[in-house]
Amino acid sequence: MRIAVIPGDGIGKEVMNAAMILLENLNLPFKYEFYEAGDEALKKYGKALPDETLEACKKSDAVLFGAAGETAADVIVKLRQELDVFANVRPIKSIKGVDSLYKDLDVVIIRENTECLYKGIEFEIDGVAQTLRVITKKASERIARFAFEFARKEKRKKVTSLHKANVMKKTCGLFRDVCREVAKDYPEISFNEYYIDAACLYLVMDPYRFDVIVTTNMFGDIVSDLAAGLIGGLGLAPSANIGERYAIFEPVHGAAFDIAGKGIANPTAMILTACMMLKHFGFRDEASRIEKAVEDTIASGLKTRDLGGNLKTFEFTREVVKRI
Ligand code: NAI
Ligand code: MG
């Protein structure tokens, strides 16, 4: 299987190094091919997502992505649309030993990935800037169905739809109605909905009321970072972008220029992202072994700076390798 690896910018490169050490340790039928994209690629080639990289992604079985910087919209948002990986699966799961706001939290955010305000249709005429919010019945239905199928497969009990249909009556209204319709096909899974603003309140004050969340692209982006904060930060939040044909695996975080180049980024999100890729291809044991090694490392108090520890990225990675 061919994996197109795109480390990207900032800490993307640093955490990708860590994940690759773990992946290359396993004897799996993967062929890793490295490609460039991001701010540095833009400077070098005049294009943030060079044609060669896009073509390689289209020929691969999966893409493993680190992070882009200021060019994220032209790289990862574009890649998601180009490869039509419509479902962004973002597990928010507490890890033992992390001094987080909440313990034993286990929520999965399913974010629609191909439309909404992130479609990138913008105009500016005479000092009036506009962005088109595109919500289609087709994309709403496939993300809602994906969320319920996911809940069924993972034996989860509840799906919660987040929107703002009281204000955005057409776009969010369509999304809300489609979710309600799809929910009827899954009577064994309970279904409810909140307006996005109230949902943010509930996430902070009582996140245990959530199980699987389904929402539109930009709301999903925002609540993902918020929810990551509940379990200890972006250093712990992995994600998978799933479509009919393609899959892109990437951590929730970006290039984190505030800490880039210091070797202190937490590679856990990227490592858990690699585990999501392994599971996607059926290598469940290998994924579990790595996940357990990460958990054991953190539980024994060995942590990176974001979690209150003092290990550098490579030191933490070395500890994980030792425990496999
Ligand atoms: P960010 O996600 O890069 O960082 C937000 C905060 O979390 C920062 O304080 C950072 O230090 C911390 N953080 C993130 N990942 C961490 C890790 N693995 N270990 C420890 N701390 C971590 O978001 P920010 O700062 O808003 O954006 C930085 C750049 O990344 C921007 O140029 C932005 O456009 C880009 N970006 C790219 C994304 C992508 O490629 N998927 C997603 C989000 C932002
Ligand atoms: Mg984001």
Which residues, chain by chain, have CB under 5 Å from ion ligand 2?
A: 221
- pLDDT of 54-84, one tens digit each? 999 999 999 999 999 999 999 999 999 999 9
> Residues 254, 41, 270, 237: what is their CA dihedral angle, to the nearest 10 degrees?
20
- pLDDT of 147-169, one tens digit each? 999 999 999 999 999 999 999 99
Residues near 125 by beta carbon (within 8 Å), at least 6 away in sequence = none
Question: Which of the 8 DSSP states describes residue 235?
Answer: G
Supply the pLDDT for residue 54: 98
Confidence at 287, pLDDT banded by 50, 70, 90: very high
Confidence at 186, pLDDT banded by 50, 70, 90: very high
Supply the pLDDT for residue 278: 98
- pLDDT of 10-50, one tens digit each? 999 999 999 999 999 998 999 999 999 999 999 999 999 99
The whole-chain average pLDDT of the chain stands at: 97
Residue 306 alpha carbon, nearest atom of ligand 1: 20
Q: How far is the CA of 220 from the centre of ligand 2 (A)?
A: 8
- pLDDT of 251-263, one tens digit each? 999 999 999 999 9
In order of their start, the domains of the chain are 1-93+234-324 (3.40.718.10), 101-231 (3.40.718.10)
Supply the pLDDT for residue 304: 98
Q: Is the CB of 253 under 6 A from ligand 1?
A: yes
CA–CA distance, 61 with 298 (Å, rounded to integer): 32
Quote the percentage of the chain above a pLDDT of 70.
Answer: 100
Judge whether 2 and 63 are in contact, CB under 8 Å: no
Q: How far is the CA of 257 from the centre of ligand 1 (A)?
A: 7
Supply the pLDDT for residue 131: 96
Confidence at 320, pLDDT banded by 50, 70, 90: very high
| Radius of gyration from C-alpha coordinates of the chain | 19
Q: Mean pLDDT throughout 223-231? A: 98
